[in-house]
Structure 1
């Protein structure tokens, strides 16, 4: 491998010493042919259909012809669910329904992702329940403020001599 690199380097140096107009023309034409081949290769890879994963639009989800189901979420903190759904690798689409006064969210997902989605929803609900059970930091702070205000502090100065 190393010898091949050295030989190519040596050949380039030798032909570089005999640099002519024809050599320049040939080098430019080879470079342009290389760029054209790369461009065609890139175009072919771009033309291949890419199947989206994770969060996508309802149209993209329906276009995969695998059946679509939905679940309704009324909680406005949909970002927590999206993080968990990404963790479980679920293909989903979120649609906000503005017809009701507190907006509802419809989560569309593939029918084959039903098992993964149920486990994602159980984790989501467990997190919501844990969050509802623990008191907020502001509530804790207000309790401690009340304790400090009602605490009696002995602030009598004593001057005693120790021997």
Structure 2
């Protein structure tokens, strides 16, 4: 068991017309540089929309908020604008679908700004009258105001 842990093998595939020592050394150098770059970069950092697992693996506290079905796109736009990482999950057991947004950011000011702006846009949309309803009201008013066209009588002048 100890020997298998200590031994590491690497498969390196090279495409060449003629295998020379220079070609082999270049391939090994390329592999070593690739490993170094990978170690320097560290684990991949996800930004913006992501899964809950990716979000919670970032070692920061996550905040959650319940979002209605109609507010998902608006929340995504606002969160991207402020650079907040977020994940959206759907509650499968609720009859009208309920979506929960988990989000986090490095500073709490960005989180508060996202929550405030989302609530303002949601309140504005509730208070805003429906365009279709207003159009129906204006159609009714237009029907009441229709005046029949005057009948023009042509007279011949002699």
Q: What TM-score comes out, normalization by structure 2 length?
A: 0.67
Relative to structure 2, which stretch is displaced further, 28-37 or 112-121? 28-37
- Flag the structure with higher helix content: 1
- 1:86 — aligned with what? 80
Structure 1 runs (4+) deviating above 3 angstroms are: 28-48, 111-114, 158-161
* Structure 1 SS opposite 2:70: coil
* 1:110 counterpart = 2:104: yes
**d(CA) in 1 for partners of 2:87, 2:115:** 15
Q: Give RMSD over aligned pairs.
A: 3.2
Q: Quick check: 1:71–1:108 contact (8 Å CA) kept in 2?
A: yes
Max Rg structure: 1
Cα deviation digits, residues 57-85 of structure 1 (max 9, x gap): 11111111222221222343311101110
- 1:156 — aligned with what? 151
Relative to structure 2, which stretch is displaced further, 149-158 or 56-65? 149-158
Residue 89 and residue 59 in structure 1: after superposition, are their counterparts in 2 closer, same or farther (change >3 A)?
same
- 1:61 — aligned with what? 55
- Shift in Å, 1:154: 3.8
Q: Quick check: 1:69–1:111 contact (8 Å CA) kept in 2?
A: no
- Shift in Å, 1:110: 2.8
- Shift in Å, 1:134: 2.4
Unmatched 5+ stretches in structure 2: 1-16
**d(CA) in 1 for partners of 2:64, 2:53:** 14
* Length, aligned pairs only: 138
Q: What TM-score comes out, normalization by structure 1 length?
A: 0.65
Unmatched 5+ stretches in structure 1: 1-23
